[in-house]
Amino acid sequence: MASAEIARANATDWVAKAAPLPTQWTNQAGPGNALPDYPRPQLTRRAWQNLNGVWEYHGSETGAARILVPYPPESALSGIGRHDDVMTYRRTFTVPPDWRDEHVLLHFGAVDQTATVWVNGREVATHRGGFTEFSADITSALKPGGEQEIVVRAEDHDEAAPFAVGKQRAKPGGIFYTGSSGIWQTVWLEPVPAVHLDKLDIVGDLTGFTVTPRVSGGDGQVEVVVHDAQGTEVTRASGQAGQPLRLTVARPHLWTPDDPYLYAISARLTGQDAGKTDEVRSYGGLRTVSLVADTLGRPRIALNGRITFLHGPLDQGFWPDGLHTAPTDEALRSDLDKIKELGFNFVRKHVKVEPARWYHWADRLGLLVFQDMPSPRFGPDGSPPRDGKADFEAELTAMIGQLANAPSIIGWVPFNEGWGEYDTVRIARAVKAADPTRLVDANSGVNCCYSHPDSGAGDLYDDHTYVGPGRSAVRDARAVIDGEYGGLGLVVAGHSWPGEPQAYEMTTSPAQLTERYVEVSRELETLARDEGLSGAIYTQITDVENEVNGFLTYDRRVEKLDFAVAARHNRAVIAAGSQ
């Protein structure tokens, strides 16, 4: 079955709530179009079944209802429109006849905060943490034929629970926003042989790929083949599952923001499963990121060995109709398209983990990414919960493993402004050990807020100054970036979230906002050219709830300043800071 199957359960009983700010995609999401796109672009198989759609739902406060999965219950698109601490989801499905001799895997993109899953009354999976994926082999729980039942019990106690929450709050306001509970990413099935490829660890550099095939259910031989963008084979290698395979690429075509060239990678496993084979498809980009010295001996960020200034916006990934979940895949991509239109080469994904398709679009469109770990909850002094450290570190490790194949990601950010910060040196070293190929920004905004005194950890010194830009000097072997600056605001009537709008500096018109953006950009250009600054992140790509400091309104309907003028100055900053 090569296309999505929409849930059949009483779709007519589901009704969306009215979104406070509908986007142009709000009305496109429904029982027949609940994120039907293939959810895992870097490990694809021919057959799959989408379980998004209308499910039965029972909430601890809501009672019995119908919900549109995978939109969180708090969102308008879910049809629920409120928070429940405890949520129970139920639906049925049938297994396609041609899957009869296969194992069946059940996948969840994300469920916030904890989940227990039953199939036909048998518990098949539990998971802790609201931002990472999990799967279960449900073959032994399936009945010989007919309808099969899935039940999911989720609990989400907002910041009262010991889990990473990012910007979610039970009482949103200011820089914190409405939370997203329960199932908020795609639920889907796929058939596999008993011995099958579970993951490909893909590391690209300037001469080729190192691919490590991970196999579940047994062992076997794996052959990996790399094709160029025109479909011509460029290299292949084979070996034992679990062992790294080196695939050298003659005349390598490197991945850059201006030329995001991707190679197709396929793998074929011959396992110990009665001669059955498993085949998957993926992709990769050839690029490196490192620190190098400029002509004055200052540490700078280099892409593929060339000093490259990182310039882009903060991207928080919230939606007025779907909250943590974009209404459609086109909507998910749209913010990245706008970032490219604005002349940027970079984006910081702020204290949230996106669905795999977001990183796929960043890879395809050519945007460098710093990926934040969602912040743990923290007390009035910024201290983390004692009972949440193990969960935080487990989910941080899982996030790195889950996203490590994306060529767009060039840096990890474990802490932001000291929110829940602890053991900074140890955590930074652990992140570097988990992925030595990328930069580590140990605490973005080390000069700000609840941050501990600068530990010197990681590869970067990261300043937050509003409106800024910050003027931090190079102080050691770390490169210096402005991890947040800007925050220039404008209220657009009819396109603002209910409540009191706020920004770090408010303007009164698109013309004034454009003028102030130009003034700040000219100062940033000087810092990039003369002071050794390596990157700068503007707050932010869109308004988010009561924050009105976006290039776009929260509903994505209005460009709040002159994009052509902003893009010209953004490109000038990148040019000034790059060698």
| SS3 of residue 52 by DSSP | coil
Instruction: Spell out the domains of the chain, with CATH numbers in brackets.
Output: 11-192 (2.60.120.260), 196-275 (2.60.40.10), 289-577 (3.20.20.80)
10-residue averages of pLDDT along the chain (579 residues): 36 86 97 97 97 97 96 98 97 96 97 98 98 98 95 95 94 94 98 96 98 94 97 97 97 98 97 80 98 97 98 98 98 98 98 98 98 93 88 97 98 97 97 98 97 97 98 95 98 96 98 98 97 97 98 98 98 95
Nearest to 469 by CA among 416, 537, 372: 537
55-84 residue pLDDT tens: 999 999 999 999 999 999 999 999 999 999
DSSP state of 248: E
Instruction: Pick left, alpha or beta for residue 355 (phi over 0 → left; psi -120 to 50 → alpha; otherwise beta).
Output: beta
Record the tokens describing residue 576, joined without a space. Answer: 């000034």
Residue 276: what pLDDT? 84
21-52 residue pLDDT tens: 999 999 999 999 999 999 999 999 999 999 99
Helix axes 356-365, 329-341, angle to 10 degrees: 30
Q: Which residues contact 152 (CB under 8 A, 6 or more apart)?
A: 87, 88, 89, 90, 108, 111, 115, 116, 117, 118, 183
Output the pTM of the full model: 0.96
